[in-house]
Structure 1
Amino acid sequence: MAFLSDAVSRIKPSPTVAMTGRAAELRAEGRDIIALSAGEPDFDTPEHIREAAKAAIDAGRTRYTAVDGIAELKQAIADKFARDNGLEYNTDQISVGTGGKQILFNALLATVDPGDEVIIPAPYWVSYPDIVSLAGGTPVVLPCPADGGFRLSPEALRQAITPATKWLILNSPSNPTGAAYSADEMRAITDVLMENPHVWVLADDIYEHLVFDGFRFVTPAQIEPGLIGRTLTMNGVSKAYAMTGWRIGYGAGPRELIRAMAKLQSQSTSNPCTISQHAALAALTGPQDYIDSSRAAFQRRRDLVVKGLNECPGIDCPMPQGAFYVYPSIADLIGRVSPNGTRITDDEAFAAALLDETGVAVVFGAAFGLSPHFRVSYAASDDMLREAIGRIRRFCEGCQEQ
């Protein structure tokens, strides 16, 4: 359609949102659907956070605020970075947005010009390449296969950097794989970045608190303080505190970048929801015991899902270090025919047949830039996960060679 801009033609709808929407449509039609496609905790937001939101309403805190966040929340975020990551920021180095996606969006649109390259390890969160493309930049996708732990190697990063490289986006723990970088692995990456002073790093730490088996989370600027002047460290309350719908994300970085992001936000959404800001303030300053209890639940679910999927013929499911996803391979199922006669030509065909024939919604691996895989979110009850795994196993057992 000629009326639409070139910019919007460069992007596509989010595949994860599309699959979740399709599952909801089928459920509305009366189908028995188990949706393991959405990336959000299934727990309720902790009570003290909900009470803080109600108190904000009752106190009349329902008017405009500063474009990129109230001062109290910015201070709480600065305190969080100091407490959890050993990073020192002033409040004028912090931006609060309507979810983590807006922080990423603002940062990339404020800095990326046509011809700029942004390095994105794959598998990646589905929105990274599209936001880069919308900004006019060029996504440079670096495949990071399972035999390397789904992690970017320093050698691959070094070879991918060109004079046009503007950013590296690094998500640890990762959506969709749950892969995370140890301190030594992160040091190897930051060493390459120190060799290339024109490259900035966007650290997406949204799953910071969801790490398992005693894994120690680290973020790039924490490992290499020399990077702090060209790092945007992004986080939020959505995953750690079960607050996806509250839409509060935040980032910390150099003042010039933060000012540019605020200018962009002033002409888009303006301030994040005032009530949600006060809820996020309570999340960051209140009791933190919820994080430990939810982490324990997710680790139990991870173990259940990995074991169950590895018992399915044709599926190979690595053990992730964090987040609440697994990213199994279906390489051995490619070319087979599903129980109802669908040829599994790729992971998209696998996910479509699985939904149609079993009612289990997952997201195909091509959406994340690395096939043949699929993503399962185990942010669901243990009983629901067991039922889903049973359906997947029966589906795989029924797949036949053509």
Structure 2
Amino acid sequence: MGQILLLAPCYLGVGGAERYTRLFARALATVLGPRSVAVWSYLGGPIPAESEPSYLGAAASRSGMWGKTRFVARAARLARRVTLIVAGHVSVAPLASRLGRLYGVPYVVMTYGIEVWGSLPPGRRAALRKARRVVAISRYTASRLQQDHSVAEDQITVIPPVVDPAFLSRAAAAAARPAGPPRQVLTVARLSAREGYKGCDAVLEALARLRGTVGPVRYVIVGDGDDRPRLQALAAELGVGALVHFAGGVPDRDLAGYYEGSHLFAMPSRSGYAAGRWRGEGFGIVFIEAGAFGLPAIAGLGDGGQEAVEHEVTGFIVDGGDIEAVAGAMRRLLSDDALRLRMGQAARARVLREFTLPRMERQVGDLLGELGQRRESEADEWRREAGDHT
């Protein structure tokens, strides 16, 4: 058993938060040594052959009382022999708080975006405020933690997402963008009705306005969910159904091929409070994944996406609710090859400078140093002192 226990709601799930959690766990293992980190997940399937040695599996394959009981029970056993608990999501922060109090162990909470914007159940809010440190993926989410939940500024550490090294290697080896038409616009997003703010509908409406003015264009949407039928109906209604390909859910290993085949990335999310909930991007890891492949991006105003895309340098920041603004940004990037290439190169350079795993490892190392965590050789000594020889 290692020094650090990372608790996750769905460690092997699909999505930006899940990818961030896995890369964060890798950074922990690099800094402290692979035997110093253990990951226990509430939901998931069997342990895949290619998973990290630190992954202990999941309590259940679907949500339910039995799985929750098993998750809590094993987490309690594992927490007795660690020096730090990491809650991989605010939903498991109350459990981390209780275990930390029970065993006298500090805990850290990882936060992303809308799950911590606005009001929270009292247990989650209290767990945030009592954590030894709260990790935020963006300055925007950090500001919301202070504003919405009175988390102290010096309690928050901002560690942005990074691009998986396998993606970077694939991007470095990728051939140049397809030279001829059609130009391909790409969105990678979960098509959930609850997350209908991602801007796919705005891109569809912009595409209808641009038809016949920028040459042949193809729009590919990677992702699935209960909002897909609405978007398909909208594409047909706008008369652009033949230009749109809904690729459905795609495994991480196949996602790179879609970036390789595209010319620009568009996810002009709409942020703000609507229909009783907050919406917007905590950061948008897909923006920097696209940047790794040399794609300029179009992001929305008013949220963490503005930290992933540098306006008029690596792409454009627009009001996702203003269809003409979305169409204008698309028009510029689709009709000006030199501009698109220059912004794409700037996006890749920024990724290599700011969003790599070694950079996250340094930031995680600084955090662990502040929390008094030690490398594996020292952890072995800690285990001997504690009488743990397993």
TM-score bracket, shorter-length normalisation: under 0.3
- Report which structure shows greater RCO (CA 8 Å, sep ≥6): 1
Higher share in strand: 2
